[in-house]
């Protein structure tokens, strides 16, 4: 019996956002990454177009992050001692993008300086041709002190500067505006808060095709369901034509996962949790895949094995031929 495939009709689309600029475009990147553009819910190839696949950003830090799980540090080995080497290793591990996280302290244990932050950023840009996201430590004043000189020193690279939040977006957006960069806008798991921040950023004159939004998530077991649903709601709103939700979404699956006890702790945990390394990687992969299913355009990951697995999942999710 011939069954008609039920298709939803959508009027809206997610904006296309391009990260990075090649020499011809005023930067130095070997490649650029374009995300967004979808006219349907995640991977519903049968009813709309999904011109760009979701991508994987790999998180590296300006100096060896001793507070990271040694599972991660062991996996990256010596590369984790130096952001340039780490960026190269991340590229080899299958990264589409590099996310450089700036720690509050520098390698010498003293507070990070703008100079050292700029040096680290430039070293990463030299070591890898991938487009870059630079996320400051998350403390309003310090973030501004670091991101402004970074933005200036890398003018034209179309870097994503983060994290723009309601209390702290102006300086970051201005820096992006003046230096041809993008921003990542984070709000706390709420459709209206996300819209509001996008409006504020747009009002400053930054074209929305230079904004990605981070609706915040929790890890598996620690609030993932909230992140999952807010992403579905944002994507539905975007497809229904709400312009202020039509931005690609970034989720920090790695960061959230590696905060959890399941990923961080190997001893003194219930036996039912099973093998530590395998569990930690599962935790990151399950978190990332669930969030891809709910609309993530960029997933930021930490463990090399997770990168490989999530990449394979994206391949399969995108491999579907557009059926009738």
Partner 1 sequence: MALTGIQIYKLLPQTNCKDCGFPTCLAFAMKLAAKQVELSSCPHVSEEAQAQLAESAAPPIRLVTLKANGHEVKAGNETVMFRHEKTFYHKTGLFVRVRDDEGPDAIKARVAPADAYAVNYVGMDLTLDGFAVESASNDPAQFEAAIAAVRSASQRPIILISRDPAVMAAGLKALDGESPLIYGADAANWEAMAALAGQHSAPLAVIGATLDELADLTQKIQGAGVEDMVLHPVATTLGASLALNTQIRRLALKKNFRPLGYPLIAFAGNDPVGETIAATQAIAKYAGFVVLDHFAPETVYSLLVLRENIYTDPQKPIQVQPGVYEINNPKPEDPVMVTTNFSITYFSVANEIEGAGLPGWLLVTDAEGMSVLTAWAAGKFDAERIAKAVKQFSIADKVSKKRIVLPGHVAVLSGELEEELPDWEVRVGPREAVDLPAFMKQAL
* Binding residues for ligand B12 (CB under 6 A): 188-190, 193, 216, 218, 222-223, 226, 256
Taking the least distance from each CB to partner 1, the nearer of 3 and 24 is 3
Residue 6, both tokens: 């039920």
Taking the least distance from each CB to ligand B12, the nearer of 216 and 282 is 216
- Shortest reach from residue 186's CB to ligand B12, in Å: 7
- Shortest reach from residue 172's CB to partner 1, in Å: 21
* Partner interacting with residue 43 (select from partner 1, ligand B12, none; CB below 5-8 Å by kind): partner 1
Taking the least distance from each CB to ligand B12, the nearer of 137 and 223 is 223
Q: 37, 229, 243, 311: which one contacts partner 1 (CB under 8 A)? A: 229
Q: Does 232 bind partner 1 (CB under 8 A)?
A: yes
Checking phi first, is residue 37 left (phi over 0); if not, alpha (psi -120 to 50) or beta? Answer: left
Q: Where in 112-151 is the site for partner 1 (CB under 8 A)?
A: none
Determine contact, residues 294/228, Cβ cutoff 8 Å.
yes
Q: Where in 182-221 is the site for partner 1 (CB under 8 A)?
A: 188, 220-221
- The contact pattern for partner 1, residues 261-280, with x = CB under 8 A and - = no contact, is xx-xx--x-xxxxxxx-xx-
Q: Which of 242, 246, 28 is nearest to 128 (CA)?
A: 28
Determine contact, residues 254/302, Cβ cutoff 8 Å.
yes
Q: Does 303 bind partner 1 (CB under 8 A)?
A: no
Helix axes 140-153 and 170-178, enclosed angle (nearest 10): 0
Taking the least distance from each CB to partner 1, the nearer of 56 and 87 is 56
Q: Compute the chain's Rg from CA coordinates.
A: 19
Q: Where in 43-82 is the site for partner 1 (CB under 8 A)?
A: 43-46
- For the range 304-309, what are the long-range contacts, defined as Cβ-Cβ under 8 Å and sequence gap of 24 or more? 304/75, 304/76, 304/89, 304/93, 304/94, 305/75, 305/281, 306/254, 306/281, 307/56, 307/58, 307/90, 307/93, 307/94, 307/95, 308/93, 308/94, 309/281, 309/285
Taking the least distance from each CB to partner 1, the nearer of 116 and 252 is 252
Q: Does 324 bind partner 1 (CB under 8 A)?
A: no
Burial (CB count <10 Å: 0-12, 13-18, 19+), residue 308: middle
Is cis: bond before 138, omega within 30 of 0? no
- Shortest reach from residue 43's CB to partner 1, in Å: 5
Q: Which of 216, 294, 209, 218 is nearest to 247 (CA)?
A: 209
- Shortest reach from residue 2's CB to partner 1, in Å: 6
Taking the least distance from each CB to ligand B12, the nearer of 204 and 265 is 265
Burial (CB count <10 Å: 0-12, 13-18, 19+), residue 323: exposed
Binding site for partner 1 (CB under 8 A): 1-3, 5-6, 8, 43-46, 188, 220-225, 228-229, 232-233, 236, 259, 261-262, 264-265, 268, 270-276, 278-279, 282-283, 285-286, 289-290, 293-294, 309, 312-313, 316-320, 323
């Amino acid at each position: 019996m011939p069954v008609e495939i039920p298709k939803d009709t959508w009027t809206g689309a997610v904006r296309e956002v391009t990260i990075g600029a090649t020499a011809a475009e005023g930067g130095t990147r070997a490649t650029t990454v374009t995300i967004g553009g979808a006219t349907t819910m995640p991977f519903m190839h049968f009813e709309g177009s999904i011109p760009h696949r979701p991508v994987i950003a790999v998180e590296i830090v300006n100096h060896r992050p001793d507070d990271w799980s040694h599972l991660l540090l062991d996996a990256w080995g010596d590369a984790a001692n130096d952001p340039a080497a780490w960026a190269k290793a991340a590229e080899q591990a299958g990264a589409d993008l590099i996310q450089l996280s700036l720690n509050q302290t520098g390698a010498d244990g003293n507070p990070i300086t703008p100079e050292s932050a700029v040096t680290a950023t430039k070293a990463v840009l030299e070591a890898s041709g991938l487009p870059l996201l630079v996320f400051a430590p998350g403390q309003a004043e310090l973030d501004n002190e670091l991101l402004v000189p970074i933005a200036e020193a890398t003018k034209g690279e179309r870097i994503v500067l983060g994290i723009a939040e309601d209390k702290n977006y102006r300086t970051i957006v201005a820096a992006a505006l003046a230096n041809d960069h993008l921003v990542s806008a984070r709000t706390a798991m709420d459709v209206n808060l996300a819209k509001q921040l996008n409006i504020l950023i747009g009002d400053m004159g930054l074209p929305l095709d230079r904004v990605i939004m981070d609706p915040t998530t929790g890890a598996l077991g620690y609030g993932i369901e909230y992140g999952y649903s807010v992403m579905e709601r944002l994507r539905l709103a975007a497809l229904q034509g709400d312009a202020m939700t039509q931005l690609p979404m970034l989720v920090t699956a790695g960061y959230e996962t590696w905060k959890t006890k399941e990923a961080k702790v190997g001893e003194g945990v219930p036996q039912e949790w099973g093998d530590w390394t395998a569990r930690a990687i599962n935790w990151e992969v399950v978190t990332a895949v669930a969030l891809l299913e709910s609309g993530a355009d960029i997933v930021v990951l930490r463990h090399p094995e997770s990168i490989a697995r999530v990449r394979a999942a994206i391949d399969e999710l995108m491999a579907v031929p557009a059926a009738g």
